[in-house]
């Protein structure tokens, strides 16, 4: 019964996010500070995976908070706070990189080739430090997808919303990203499940 009720109720983290958004929308400055304190570390980690140096990442993060403060009143779905924050962070990083934000054309052969293939099997990584080290060795698209997956436990549709790509593209990207990660971890001699 309790487990069934647990599935129907939103998890505490989602509700906490909604409350925080609501308080920010009402102009509570303590709520804005709480929002920054709660999310800055993770957003900074994500921005560092996209940007080349630390100083740029800090500048980008500051820009992110300015945009958040301007636009949070327009956020209709408070539960979508994580994807909304990461989308702003991504767009900020991309404008700094001065590359097109449009996704590269989908490689249809790649998409088809993931059908029927098993997930590369990165179910759990032994420790965060090895994962952090391995992420550095991946390409930017793979690194980005895996960062969102491991940092926020984002599912395909959430990652798709952040990067503005179709879910099929994201699914293929995650598949190849996990495969590349597995290869890096094997080279490092890391055991994984």
Partner 1 sequence: MSEERRLGDALAAQEPMSPRLREKYDQEIKNMLEKRLNRIQKVMIWFSALMAAAMAGGFGWLAVTVTDLPTLARSTFAVGAAFALAWVGMMVRIRRKGTIHLIFDENAQGGWAYGVTLLVVISLLLLAGENPDATRSVFMVVSGLVFFLGGCLSLLLARIQQSEMRTREKMLEIEFRLAELTEAVVRQR
Measured from the Cβ of residue 63, the count of other Cβ atoms closer than 10 Å reads: 18
47 close to 61: Cβ distance less than 8 angstroms: yes
3 touches partner 1 by CB under 8 A: yes
117 touches partner 1 by CB under 8 A: no
Considering only 30, 55, 102, 109, the residue that binds partner 1 (CB under 8 A) is 55
Q: How far apart are the first and last CA of the chain?
A: 32
Closest to partner 1 by CB, 78 vs 169, is 78
Considering only 6, 105, 116, 189, the residue that binds partner 1 (CB under 8 A) is 6
Closest CA to 165 of 92, 90, 113, 114: 90
124 close to 193: Cβ distance less than 8 angstroms: yes
Report residue 127 as tokens: 């420790």
Considering only 141, 152, 168, 190, the residue that binds partner 1 (CB under 8 A) is 152
- Minimum CB distance to partner 1, residue 131 (Å): 6
Closest to partner 1 by CB, 103 vs 152, is 152
192 touches partner 1 by CB under 8 A: no
Q: Which stretch binds partner 1 (CB under 8 A): 54-62, 101-109, 165-173, 180-188?
A: 54-62
The whole-angstrom separation of Cα 58 and Cα 169 is 30
Closest to partner 1 by CB, 125 vs 180, is 125
Beta-carbon-side half-sphere exposure of residue 104 (alpha carbons within 13 Å): 9
Give the angle 184-114-129 at the CA atoms, nearest 5°: 25
Q: Which of residues 131-150 bind partner 1 (CB under 8 A)?
A: 131-132, 150
The whole-angstrom separation of Cα 119 and Cα 121 is 5
The whole-angstrom separation of Cα 75 and Cα 159 is 18
Q: Which of residues 29-48 bind partner 1 (CB under 8 A)?
A: 29, 36, 41-42, 44-45, 48
Which residues lie near partner 1 (CB under 8 A)?
Answer: 2-3, 5-6, 9-13, 15-16, 18-19, 22-23, 25-27, 29, 36, 41-42, 44-45, 48, 54-55, 58, 61-62, 65-66, 69, 125, 127-129, 131-132, 150-153
């Amino acid at each position: 019964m309790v487990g069934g009720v647990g599935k129907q109720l939103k998890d505490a983290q989602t509700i906490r996010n909604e409350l925080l958004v609501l308080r920010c929308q009402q102009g509570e400055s303590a709520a804005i500070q709480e929002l920054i304190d709660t999310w800055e570390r993770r957003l900074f980690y994500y921005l560092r995976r996209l940007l080349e140096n630390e100083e740029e990442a800090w500048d980008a993060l500051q820009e992110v908070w300015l945009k958040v403060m301007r636009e949070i009143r327009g956020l209709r779905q408070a539960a979508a706070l994580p994807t909304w924050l990461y989308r702003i962070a991504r767009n900020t990083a991309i404008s700094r990189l001065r590359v097109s934000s449009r996704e590269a054309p989908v490689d249809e052969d790649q998409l088809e080739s993931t059908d029927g293939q098993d997930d590369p099997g990165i179910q759990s990584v032994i420790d965060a430090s090895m994962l952090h080290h391995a992420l550095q060795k991946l390409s930017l698209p793979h690194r980005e997808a895996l960062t969102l997956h491991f940092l926020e436990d984002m599912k395909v549709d959430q990652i798709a919303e952040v990067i503005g790509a179709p879910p099929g593209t994201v699914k293929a990207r995650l598949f190849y990203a996990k495969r590349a990660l597995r290869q890096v971890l094997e080279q490092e001699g890391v055991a994984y499940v």
